[in-house]
Structure 1
């Protein structure tokens, strides 16, 4: 069942979103060749706790870290590792902050130093698709409008979408209704109403969208070894249109 939020509750999620956004800004400053994702994970946890928040992912279904850190062919839910990042790689850092019982979620794919033009294009297209989807998150629109907008970018830019992972409602719990797919038909699906708070988080890959899960039960990587990018925001559906809470 969808949990519709009041304006005051959306403001609480926005406060958690500011923690997430600030942490991403600091990670962007620190991310360079030679840094490890385990170091970034420890920083992110310390940053959130210093802000009075806690990392909601840590302990969720026994997940052991404060962030997900996905490098190269790992498209999501990667474990932070004590392995130095290399020039030319890309890494997605995904985090959820819980501030006073309200949660906000954002993932961002970063370039490690200078990356190849084809990877720059992948990141640009995926980020653009996120914002195209967000533009559809308005009261009176439908969930299918979001998916159709994201899918149109993928098709135009000739990328596949990893459909196994989707957006979701968020608030008191990390995952709430509704499910937010990144493919769809415009005008279809549940109608968006004021008070919904959702995540939009497309994953584009350079190859095929099929994934495998590592023995750790979490790490999702492409079956063919192709690389992926993901960009995610937490968004409120309001009477004035979509409001990004993690920017």
Structure 2
């Protein structure tokens, strides 16, 4: 299953100056089809920063190279690392960065991928001053790195909000996504993930408030429709269960 409803796939699509999304093919996770999405940022020095890399083919490689040299590959949580090895092989000079838990999970599943650096709650010098970041606290299971591209006022999330458009899903899945809490126009954190933050609600609330204080205009998500406007309002809506 390759169609996602976000065609054209495997093509950098402009979001604002120096930032693009790449919609990849759908993958199956726990038997369910998930759309995939990478985000590419061109840093001030011209180098490319690639978040949650999607499937890489020859055409996408050419299109990415036309934007600049790939310098950083970012695996933002324990699920979003599957295609990093493809990008490492294509761009051997790039440094790979992993959120907590990613390297251990990759080893557990026997994937041939190694990471150069761990992501922390503060940005490294490589993109300090251009991309804010933090590791969201509150769950021992889901440790996600989130980012904010200052110049475009774009918040880049992965799974903390999922926003599937029912009309783009197989008919048998359409009744399910509202029950999980991830159906557009009211996409949120999936209910099973939310349960892992039960003991860390205060920490999660503080980190959501920090994201809001970045004042993003846009919020890019890995799965489903992302928000091209009113980013702060969308964050308040999606996280009302922790903010109220």
Structure ranking higher on relative contact order (CA contacts 8 Å, 6+ apart): 1
Provide TM-score, normalisation by structure 2. 0.25
Q: TM-score under structure 1 normalisation?
A: 0.25
